[in-house]
Structure 1
């Protein structure tokens, strides 16, 4: 009776097909995060994009898809370093703007 349950025509060999990696969202974030850090001059955001760039550089040999045409990880590191320099640029060249409150108060002399 056990031979009737297993039929040769119902047995199929499993063939594993790995899923293609979907790095579109990660590529979008890693390419545009330094731009946001430069635009906002946000120091913590620029350090975060530097951390992500170094992480992607270290993981590139393991997760790089041959058909992936995104920018190389070394360019991401350079771009994140530019974002860090832009965030700290006000320390090198401080602004000489006068505060608005000093302009509106009458002179006490």
Structure 2
């Protein structure tokens, strides 16, 4: 079992108030080695084409034209320099799509 609680103070004049979340995770452990199933190994060499195909399938699954949306995303992101301040997530997205 794992228990995690997070509490954040709320700034209210004259009151002590907290916003909190409690998480609980219960996982059954295997009783012996034969009942344990190993997950399939994920291929370590995911190339750009495989990643773009996965994005395209996901976009199509939501009812949009996958290839044209992906190409537009690549074009729009490539118009911006990686030197522009976009934070870590922005830099990762820029690297993936350019």
TM-score norm. by structure 1 comes to 0.26
Normalised TM-score (structure 2): 0.28
Relative contact order (alpha carbons < 8 A, sep ≥ 6): 1 or 2 greater?
1
> Hey, which of these two has a bigger chunk of strand by percent?
2
